[in-house]
Structure 1
Amino acid sequence: MATAENPFADPGLPPHEHRAQDIDEQAAKRSERTVALLFVVSMIATVGFIASYVAIPIDKIVYIWPIGHISALNFALGLTLGAALFCIGAGAVHWARTLMSDEEVADERHPIEAAPEVKAKVMADFAQGAKESQMGRRKLVRNTMFGALALVPLSGVVLLRDLGPMPGTKLRTTNWKKGVRLVNQSTNLPLRPEDIAVGSLTFAKPEGLEEDDEEFAEKIAKDALMLVRIQPQNIKDKHELSWSHEGIVAYSKICTHVGCPISLYEQQTHHVLCPCHQSTFDLSDGGRVIFGPAGHALPQLHITEKDGFLEAANGFEEPVGPSFWERG
């Protein structure tokens, strides 16, 4: 009641009005079924999202009035994911408005540090709220909500597919194979043994791979080759020696750490250095790692000579480039 000392007295809370669901169990059941239906529709929409992602071609265009011509896949994904999320939200809101307790309770403010009795009251209020939410009683609502919440994250999991197609055998194959000539990457001319001087570093590519090719950058990232000539008596690895030609050894130019191109060669030690993270490889000893984070030796290409030109005797026996989980 307002007075001269306090003209703005607290009017208090209006009388509580019971909802139809509070006094009629049939009305409560109808609300429960409505909430469950929304959660089930959310589950169906999530399944539709996954099915659309799998079944609709990425380049399919459809006409949707009044939007116009759009991607069928984008439209289906947006529609199904939007329906899934909307139905979860609508179901939760309808549950709160019709089945959970809606009685307003005023509570006095208290100090920041709550007294033990206040803490006990909070826990009691929480327990009472959990009871009034009817989570245990309305099992249909609870179970369908859990189902909808469990299925919706699958939409995000499916989208991981857009990280790119599985590589298959692409990581294990290059354009090097038996009979492919080695071409000097600088002059674009086939390499002869006499072109490789002792102590020099020469970069090569497969014959037929041209810089104006549409996929040149992708292919050279695996095909790039470096050649050095070492006196045969200085080659320590017998396997390496048998795969060389007159002391000319050919190794992948791609570092086995993260794929940087190797370009630094020290002719006295026959070491090559990756400029990115300083991984160092010994080209006189099977391309093994002698320093740095690289986990594998550089793959060697078996080369031979035919008609005066250097060519591959076969392809790489192991994947080139950075290490990956399935690599042996």
Structure 2
Amino acid sequence: MSHEMPEEKLPEAHDASQGHEVAPHSDPFADPGLPAHEPRRTDIDERAAKRAERQVSLMFVVSMLATIGFIASYVIFPIDKIVFIFPIGHVSALNFALGLTLGVALFCIGAGAVHWARTLMSDHELPAERHPIEADDEVRNDVIEQFKTGAAESGFGRRKMIRNTLIGSMALVPLSGVVLLRDLGPLPEKKLDHTGWQKATPANPIPLINMNTNEPMKAEDIVIGSLTFAKPEGLEESDEDFQQNIAKDALMLVRIAPEDIKDKNSAELGFGGILAYSKICTHVGCPISLYEQQTHHALCPCHQSTFDLADGARVIFGPAGHPLPQLKITIDEKGFLVATGDFDEPVGPSFWERS
């Protein structure tokens, strides 16, 4: 047997101060809607709009000048110059100037953009209902039209002073980062173009020194199928800059039967089938140490670049970009191997200043 409960009535609200009852509200927080749009001064006064335009442009111009000041500071102030700045104290003049000018350049771009948006761009507020993430064609077309309308109302095309100064300031700011690349180290100049072998001439050759025995090398000591490493005479491991120099001067020698040498120019740079190549891989500069005597292939252990030493050390496999540079060698009156010039090309990986 079921019983229906009587419907419970909401108690009526009672206003004690007025002495009468108040009916309850089903929606006590009604949507008040958007306030009436109030035009800005720049919307109704063209002179105010022109003044705001000049202010925005001035900020962008100041940003450009600050970027130029950043570059000038980098050139003018030595890295070890210390100055006293109140109330900071003693600071590096270079760091202070770079931070100040870069900060002003970035701040003026941001402040100019904000001032532009608040005074000259459209500020009408439009309500929009929430919708699914994926938009239909109608919504997409509406967004495109709104974008075009917003671009037109921003005055970007009409206000050429703002547009040109904004483009100028945005184009100059990245130069600050380019200038900072100078801190990566001193410019290489021609240091990468030549090695320690560059002092060698036919009249004043440089002997080849065996890396293992530290003794001069005779041609008769190099046998077919062997791989030997050498350095220029005068370069010692006790030298302070040994590692820096050996990274360019390291040499590997192989002896190949003359009839097996495919490249005639390579044969002319060698002596009696003995060929001298740079030991530094032309990919990322790893030392090459693996040699297959049957195929005359040298393999870099880092990324498997493979060079055919019988064919001018050309690349036959791997990421290396060009052949191993070759050193011209001969023998002196005592039969010792000597170099008569530098490598025919810069050693190691390619670089943007490479001639």
Which TM bucket (shorter chain)?
0.7 to 0.9
Q: Deviations over 1:63-118 (max 9, x none)?
A: 33344444333322222121111111111111222233334333444566667776
Partner of 1:156: 177
Alignment length (residue pairs): 327
Q: Tell whether the 8 Å contact from 1:192 to 1:310 is kept in structure 2 after alignment.
A: yes
Contiguous gaps of at least 5 residues in structure 1: none
Partner of 2:67: 46
- Alpha-carbon deviation of 1:206? 0.9
CA distance in 2, matches of 1:286, 1:92: 60
SS state at 1:172 partner: coil
Mapped pair 1:26 → 2:47? yes
Q: Tell whether the 8 Å contact from 1:299 to 1:316 is kept in structure 2 after alignment.
A: yes
Mapped pair 1:320 → 2:341? no
CA distance in 2, matches of 1:257, 1:118: 52
Q: Of 216, 235, 258, which aligns to 1:209? A: 235
Counterparts of residues 219-230 of structure 1 (less than 5 Å) = 219-230=245-256
Q: Of 217, 222, 235, which aligns to 1:191? A: 217
Partner of 2:5: none
Mapped pair 1:309 → 2:336? yes
Q: Give the alignment's Cα RMSD to 1 decimal.
A: 3.4
Identity %: 71
SS state at 1:181 partner: strand
Contiguous gaps of at least 5 residues in structure 2: 1-22
Taking structure 1 as the reference length, the TM-score comes to 0.81
- Which region of structure 1 is more displaced relative to structure 2, 48-57 or 158-167? 158-167
- Which region of structure 1 is more displaced relative to structure 2, 138-147 or 31-40? 138-147
CA distance in 2, matches of 1:12, 1:30: 33
Partner of 1:251: 277
Partner of 2:244: 218
Say if 1:118 and 1:238 are closer, same or farther in 2 by CA, change over 3 A.
closer
CA distance in 2, matches of 1:103, 1:292: 61
Say if 1:197 and 1:115 are closer, same or farther in 2 by CA, change over 3 A.
closer
Q: Deviations over 1:19-75 (max 9, x none)?
A: 333444433333222222111111111222222234433444433334444433332
Q: Which has the larger radius of gyration?
A: 2
- Alpha-carbon deviation of 1:203? 0.9
SS state at 2:338 partner: strand
SS state at 2:346 partner: coil
- Alpha-carbon deviation of 1:314? 2.2
CA distance in 1, matches of 2:145, 2:258: 86
Mapped pair 1:142 → 2:142? no
SS state at 2:291 partner: strand
SS state at 1:171 partner: coil
